[in-house]
A and B are shown apart, each in its own frame.
Chain A
Amino acid sequence: MSAPAAPARAPRTAAVAHRGDAKWGWLMAGPAIVLVITFLIAPFVMAFWLSLTNARLISPNAPEFTGADNFTRLLGVQLLTLDPERDAAGAIVLDEAGAPSYPSIRSFTRNKETFPQYAGMQEWFTVGLGDTRHVVLASDTVFMKSLVNTIAFAIVIVPLQSAFGLLLALLVNRRTRGVNAFRTIYFIPVVMSMVVISILWKFLYSPNEGMVNSFFSAITLGAFQPVDWLGNPTTALPAVMFMSMWQAVGFHMIIWLSGLQTIPPELYEAAGLDGAGRVAAFRNVTWPGLRNTSVFILITITIAAFGLFTQIDVMTRGGPLDATSTVVYQAVQQGFRTQDMGYGAAISVVFFVLVLIVALIQRRLTREARG
């Protein structure tokens, strides 16, 4: 928004007018300043402090400083290399099924004297190379899975949702009355509550009375086998991804649309005169004109995707087998439901670092875009 140029005025008037501004300034901005400090800055600073303590949500005891304990418990990862067991002659011992047998992971993680570094950890995942197994241990495997789920969610959602939003924007970027109705329809889920939408989709996804299954079974003439979309670890996260895009894509359609409307129509006329077809016009006129919009859209989708919580809490509670657990879901589980405030705060800090990284990338990209 550009302010109209202020007409020259007598400096004396201004000086008289602004006498005593400081009092009114602090007075009128005061309520906002107090509230920002209490409800935003204080908790933000507290997150860092609490993450270094063993604070409980409700406890008669004062929190004790525990250093980086919460973070090692949260992010601790160790690599354990297991060679197959060999008999006295050096040959690999095979089990009944003919597969090499390995020492149990528990013999390392439950042996505090010999292997203090593995104590209390659990198997996160295992990679087998030749006869050797590389076991990655984590102190909080649920959090590690949640971190991976959150990032995977963002990686899938960001390109798909922005592309889909752009497609919608291109479809409705005309000023005819009928088109307006479609714009409104595509936008409706944005004003709806995510809780309501999550419950609706939970019903649509259900294995027996779900409309998603009936739809696929109808178009394949019954060949499609019903899927328990949210109950199956491989389909649960993709199902949440789809409904999340369904809800939010209308918002990004509107943002793309305002970007599209900043492109001067003359550019399209010129491209038309040069004989450019639809595809060429899009590549040479539309896309370059959307540069700043696209950076903004990528960032908002990424940050929103990192904050994934409501859908999970309502639809899956992180399950099945932690397949849909996320960082914010874990923060709420630990900080609120199990009342482990210090640990919940540590998760919040990790979450903030994730967001900060994205924001820094955004600054980088917008600066480049501005040249």
Chain B
Amino acid sequence: MSRMQRRVQQGDERVFLSLRAVLMIGLAILFLFPIVFMFVASFKTDETELLTSVRSVEAFLPVGQLGLENYQGVFDRVPAPQFIFNSLITTFATVILGLIVNSMAGFALSRLHWRGRDGVLTVIIATLIVPFETIAIPLLFVVIRLPWIWFSPETGLQLEWGWLNTYHVQVLPFVVNAFSIFLFVQYFKSLPIDFDEAARVDGASWFAIYRRVILPLSGPVIATVAILTFLPMWNAYLWPLMVTQTEAIRPVMVGLQYFFQLNVAWGEIMAYLSLITVPVLVLFLLLQRAFVESIAASGVKG
């Protein structure tokens, strides 16, 4: 290769690399601008200023009247702490119960030998193909008719029909997740079986082995399942929209509709959006690797 040719090639390479850099930066702007705008606008207390700022770069800059009034307005308009509390309760209940139920099932379906095991596993894996949207409507029909028993010291045991407007209607249908079970089964299969067989011969119960031998070794898969349960629960919309009718029980995403009744104040809306999004984004940035790997794991099931 002559020196001339090489120089041309290096020139090409440089053009290619700078084009790529320009493209990457342009795309980064495309993905970030709505989020930056949301956050910046949430501090702009003058609604007219906010609405005119979108005609220029000012939309993304903290200029004009700034303050926390929009956040104050959010709390005046809706019971935001209640919504956040409801979302936290239902999300964490689902994550914890899901980890317990799905890991136990994954354990039984991977490390124990019992008749019916393969059948159960096949049925569970087969349900992966049913999207939630297919069963949402009939599920609504079911939960309206389910009984619930609860106990209070004043009235004793009580039986109630219908699950609408409760925490458990937002939690229990999402505890079992076929994909989580699948992930646990895969992971548990990769652990050597000798551990538990030795412990068994020494007289340990299967539950003790699950609890003391297997779970302590399962950090990575527990993190994956927790993240994959957390995100859709925090972001849930369709189901809580149908089964919650009071502010006392509604989660954050459904709470958004209160901002579109009566006078719409975009500053307050942006403040509320920031309030329910920024914590998740911070969590994501802190645990980036775990998030990306978990979500990539949901892509290898094919």
Which A residues contact B (CB, under 8 angstroms)?
A: 1-4, 6-7, 9, 13-14, 16-18, 21-22, 24-29, 31-33, 35-36, 38-44, 46-47, 50, 55, 57-58, 168, 171-172, 182-197, 199-201, 203-204, 209-211, 214, 246, 250-251, 254-255, 257-258, 278, 292, 295-296, 299-300, 303, 306-307, 309-310, 313-314, 328, 331-332, 335-336, 341, 344-345, 347-348, 351-352, 355-356, 359, 362, 366
The dominant DSSP class at the B interface is helix
Known: A21-B113, A44-B138, A352-B134. 4 other contacts (CB 8 A): A17-B201, A254-B295, A331-B136, A341-B138
Report the bound CA distance from A6 to B124 in whole Å.
Answer: 26
Find the residue from A33, A36, A187 having the highest chain B CB count within 10 A: A36
B299 contacts across to A, CB distance below 8 A: 251, 254-255, 258, 296, 300
A55 contacts across to B, CB distance below 8 A: 141
Nearest CB in chain A: distance from B86 CB, A = 15
Would you call A193 and B235 a contact (CB within 8 A)? yes
Nearest CB in chain B: distance from A179 CB, A = 8
Nearest CB in chain B: distance from A180 CB, A = 9
Would you call B131 and A307 a contact (CB within 8 A)? yes
Find the residue from B35, B107, B133, B234 having the highest chain A CB count within 10 A: B133
Would you call B189 and A3 a contact (CB within 8 A)? yes
B78 contacts across to A, CB distance below 8 A: none
A278 contacts across to B, CB distance below 8 A: 16
Q: A1-B186, A21-B112, A36-B127 are in contact. Are A199 and B28 (CB under 8 A)?
A: no
How many A-B residue contacts, CB cutoff 8 Å? 286
Would you call A336 and B280 a contact (CB within 8 A)? no
- Interface stretch (choices B62-70, B148-156, B170-178): B170-178
Interface positions, chain B 166-212, Cβ under 8 Å from A, are: 172-173, 175-176, 178, 181, 186-187, 189-190, 192-194, 196-198, 200-201, 205-207, 210
A303 contacts across to B, CB distance below 8 A: 131
Nearest B-chain residue to A31, judged by Cβ: B101
Report the bound CA distance from A204 to B280 in whole Å.
Answer: 22
Would you call A185 and B32 a contact (CB within 8 A)? yes
B217 contacts across to A, CB distance below 8 A: none
Find the residue from B24, B135, B210 having the highest chain A CB count within 10 A: B135
B81 contacts across to A, CB distance below 8 A: none
Find the residue from B139, B205, B242 having the highest chain A CB count within 10 A: B139
* B265 sits at the interface (CB 8 A): no
A292 contacts across to B, CB distance below 8 A: 302
Report the bound CA distance from A101 to B120 in whole Å.
Answer: 65
Q: A17-B200, A21-B112, A32-B101 are in contact. Are A296 and B54 (CB under 8 A)?
A: no
Nearest CB in chain A: distance from B103 CB, A = 9
B131 contacts across to A, CB distance below 8 A: 303, 306-307, 351, 355
B33 contacts across to A, CB distance below 8 A: 211
A355 contacts across to B, CB distance below 8 A: 129-131, 134
B3 contacts across to A, CB distance below 8 A: none
* B37 sits at the interface (CB 8 A): yes
Nearest A-chain residue to B232, judged by Cβ: A193
Find the residue from A39, A299, A309, A351 having the highest chain B CB count within 10 A: A39
Report the bound CA distance from A335 to B192 in whole Å.
Answer: 49
Would you call A331 and B104 a contact (CB within 8 A)? no
Would you call A40 and B137 a contact (CB within 8 A)? no
* B271 sits at the interface (CB 8 A): no
Q: A46-B141, A193-B234, A246-B31 are in contact. Are A6 and B193 (CB under 8 A)?
A: yes
* B215 sits at the interface (CB 8 A): no
A362 contacts across to B, CB distance below 8 A: 302
Would you call A28 and B276 a contact (CB within 8 A)? no
* B4 sits at the interface (CB 8 A): no
B235 contacts across to A, CB distance below 8 A: 192-195
Interface residue from A171, A190, A195 paired with B256 (Cβ < 8 Å): A195
B96 contacts across to A, CB distance below 8 A: none
Q: Write 19 A-B pairs (CB below 8 A) sorted by A numbering.
A: A6-B193, A13-B201, A17-B197, A28-B104, A32-B102, A39-B176, A40-B176, A58-B144, A183-B292, A185-B28, A194-B237, A199-B273, A203-B269, A300-B299, A335-B140, A344-B137, A348-B133, A348-B135, A359-B129
Report the bound CA distance from A9 to B210 in whole Å.
Answer: 21
Interface residue from B116, B137, B196 paired with A336 (Cβ < 8 Å): B137
B23 contacts across to A, CB distance below 8 A: 171
Would you call A25 and B138 a contact (CB within 8 A)? no
